[in-house]
A and B are shown apart, each in its own frame.
Chain A
C-alpha cells in the first residue's frame, strides 16, 4: 500500500476475496451506539461531529481496525472524542465501566 493513504482507504486494494453476503440483525447495543452518535452529532449538541467520528475510527491503527467489529470501532471513537473534548475523563469512564460490570455480574 502507498503510504499516502490510510488503512481505511481501501478502494481498489487487491486481495478482497469473495463477499460474505450473510448479514446479522443489529443488536440493541449496536443500535444504541448509532443512536449516541445521532444525538451527539445533532447541531444542538455538536459534541461528536461525523468528521470527528471518522478521524477517531481512522486513527485506531490497522490491526484494531481489522479486529474490531463496526460498532466496536464506533464506540471507541465516540468515547475518545468525548474524552478529548473534556465531557468526561478517562478515569470517570473506567470507574463507570467497573461499576457496571459489578452491577451486571450480580444481576446474572
Chain B
C-alpha cells in the first residue's frame, strides 16, 4: 500500500486523529473551493448528507409491502416503478428510471451494475461494498446460482435466475415473493420482513426475517 493512497485496503479511512489521506484532503479542498466560488453553501452539503442518511432500505420495504397487500398497486409498480414509488411519497429525483422485477414461483431475480455501482439508492440507500466489488460484478452474471449460494440462498435447479444489469439511467429493484404464513400480517409487519438483500435479490424474505 502506497503512503498516500487507500491502496487495496478498503478499511474505513482514519478519523480526525490521524493524518488525512491525499483523497480526503482533495475532498475538503474541492468542497471549500466550490463554497468560496458560491457554487453551493456549506449548508447545502450538510443537508445533502442528511438526506442520504435518511435513505434506508425501509423506504423500499414499504413499497414491497404495499405491492404485497394491494394488487392494483403492484400492477402499477411493475408497469412504472418510478411513478409507483413517487405515489408512496418517495422523492425519486429526475435522474433515473426505476424498474421493479418480480420474483415468482419459477423465476428469481437479482440485480447488479457490472460497469460500476448503479443502484436504486432512493429506495435502499447507498450500496454495500460487495455490490461494488470486482468479485460480485464479474461473477453474478456468469454463475449466479453459485453466487447466490455464497450468500446462503440455495435455489432449486428448476428456478430460472434472471440477472439485471443496471445503468445510471435505468435501475432495478427486486420485488420478492410474499412469504407463506404471513396472511395475518399488517403492511408494517410485512415491511419489516423485507431487507436490503431481498431487494437486491441475494436473499428472500421469510416469515421470521428480522429487518436489519
A interface list, Cβ under 8 A from B: 8-36, 38-41, 43, 45, 47, 50-51, 54, 57, 66-72, 75-76, 78-79, 82, 87-88, 92-93, 96-97, 100-101, 104-105, 108
Contact in complex: B112, A11 (CB < 8 Å): yes
Are B130 and A88 in contact, CB atoms less than 8 angstroms apart? Answer: no
23 contacts between A and B (CB under 8 A): A9-B114, A12-B141, A15-B138, A16-B139, A19-B139, A19-B150, A19-B151, A23-B128, A23-B129, A30-B13, A32-B31, A33-B27, A34-B52, A54-B168, A66-B134, A67-B2, A70-B117, A71-B23, A76-B23, A92-B33, A96-B33, A97-B29, A100-B29
Question: Is the CB–CB distance between B141 and A41 below 8 Å?
Answer: no
Known interface pairs A24-B11, A88-B33; A68-B5 also in contact (CB < 8 Å): yes
What B residues does A78 contact at CB under 8 A? 30
B210 at the A/B interface (Cβ < 8 Å)? no
| Complex Cα gap A71–B49 (Å) | 14
- What CA separation (Å) do A25 and B153 show in the bound complex? 24
B135 & A75 in contact (Cβ 8 Å cutoff)? no
Taken together as a complex, chains A and B put the C-alpha atoms of A69 and B9 apart, in Å, by 8
Main secondary structure of the interface of A (DSSP, over half): helix
- Kindly identify which residue among B20, B21, B165, B168 contacts A50, using a CB–CB cutoff of 8 Å: B168
> A28 to B49, Cβ gap below 8 A?
yes
What CA separation (Å) do A48 and B17 show in the bound complex?
32
Closest chain B residue, CB of each to CB of A83:
B30
Q: Which one, B5, B20, B48, B147, contacts A104 given CB within 8 A?
A: B20
Given contacts A12-B138, A19-B139, A23-B128, contact A75 B20 (CB under 8 A): no
Binds A, one of B36-44, B65-73, B98-106: B36-44
- Which residue in A14, A25, A36, A50 is a CB contact (below 8 Å) of B30? A36
Nearest residue (CB) in B for A65 is B134
Q: Which residues does chain B contribute within 8 Å of A9, judged by CB atoms?
A: 114-115
Of residues 9 to 34 in B, which have CB atoms within 8 Å of A's CB atoms? Answer: 10-13, 15, 17, 19-21, 23-34
Residues in B neighbouring A20, C-beta threshold 8 A:
129-130, 133, 135
Choose one: B27, B115, B150; the contact of A36 (CB below 8 Å). B27
Residue B177 interfacial (CB < 8 Å): no
Contact A19 B33 (CB under 8 A): no
Pair A87/B5 contact, Cβ less than 8 Å: no
Q: Are A35 and B23 in contact (CB under 8 A)?
A: no
**Contact: B5 with A67, CB < 8 Å?**
yes
In the assembled complex, the Cα of A23 lies from the Cα of B128 at a distance in Å of 6
Selected contact of B39 from candidates A28, A38, A40, A41, CB within 8 Å: A40
Q: Are B5 and A38 closer than 8 Å at their CB atoms? A: no
Known: A8-B116, A12-B138, A70-B117. 19 other contacts (CB 8 A): A10-B114, A11-B137, A12-B142, A13-B138, A19-B130, A19-B135, A25-B12, A32-B45, A34-B49, A35-B49, A38-B52, A54-B116, A69-B10, A72-B6, A72-B21, A79-B30, A97-B25, A104-B19, A105-B19
